[in-house]
Amino acid sequence: MIQTVIFDMDGVIVDTEPVHSYAYFQHFEELNIEVTEEMFTSFMGNSTRNTFQKLKELFPIGHDVEDLIQRKRDLFNDAFDNKEDLELLEGVEKLIKDLHQKGMQLILASSASKVTIDRVFTRFGLHQYFTHIVSGEDFPKSKPHPAIFEYAAGLSIASKENCIVIEDSTNGIIAAKAAGIFCIGYNSEHSKLQDLSLADVVINHFDELSFEKVARL
């Protein structure tokens, strides 16, 4: 029986991807580098640090990674604070409350920074539902490396055989499966060009899930 649900955040709980994309491409313009949509899509699920480390290998960027991270974060925070229409993805708040109320442990494992996670969780009052929050900035390698999910599963009240991951990105699903955890692929309309074929189950809306359905997986 499933006892712990490990959630990704971007594209699963909230759609901050357009805000991230805006901040990144504003930054790319400032750096005078041409990053294609295809290249940018391949970075989904990576931490900001890993993204800039890869970009420094591909482009002649003279700035330190830490400076690049801070500038992108400033651009993101400004856009986030001014985006009045930012909402949780349809159906996910109802699912989170249902799982929590009926005793399911919830853990967040997101590639986002702790600052970004806290902004989202504070804005939408989500801290009360999750026992642990795990940020990708604490790991040297991003998804598809399984480290973040292995760590999150280690925080579970049960063995990883009694955990599931909900992910929307190719890299996230690969990471979950590499960690040996059952994975639900969320086919989000906001997460373009993602391959969900490795997921154990694919859903198109959160109303396809409930405590009873999750517990029986």
- Which band of pLDDT confidence, cut at 50, 70 and 90, is reported for residue 34? very high
Q: Exposure pattern of 103-129 as b/e (b: 16+ CB <10 Å)?
A: ebbbbbbbbbbeebbebbbeebebeeb
End-to-end CA separation in angstroms for the chain: 7
pLDDT score at 42: 87
- Looking only at the bridges linking them, the beta strands covering 201-203 and 132-135 are unpaired
**Reported pTM:** 0.81
Compute the average pLDDT of residues 39-46: 84
Residue 192 pLDDT > 90: no
pLDDT score at 146: 96
Looking at per-residue pLDDT, the higher value among 192 and 42 belongs to 42
- Which band of pLDDT confidence, cut at 50, 70 and 90, is reported for residue 152? very high
Pick from 20-34, 134-148, 181-195, 196-210: least confident: 181-195
Residue 193 pLDDT > 90: no
pLDDT score at 116: 86
- 61-108 pLDDT, tens per residue? 999 999 999 999 899 888 887 777 788 999 999 999 999 999 999 999
Compute the average pLDDT of residues 10-33: 90
Q: How would you write the chain as a 3-class SS string?
A: CCCEEEECCECCCECCHHHHHHHHHHHHHHHCCCCCHHHHHHCCCCCHHHHHHHHHHHCCCCCCHHHHHHHHHHHHHHHHHHCCCCCECCCHHHHHHHHHHCCCEEEEEECCCHHHHHHHHHHHCCHHHCCEEEEHHHCCCCCCCCHHHHHHHHCCCCCHHHEEEEECCHHHHHHHHHCCCEEEEECCCCCCCCCCCCCCEEECCHHHCCHHHHHCC
Residue 211 pLDDT > 90: yes
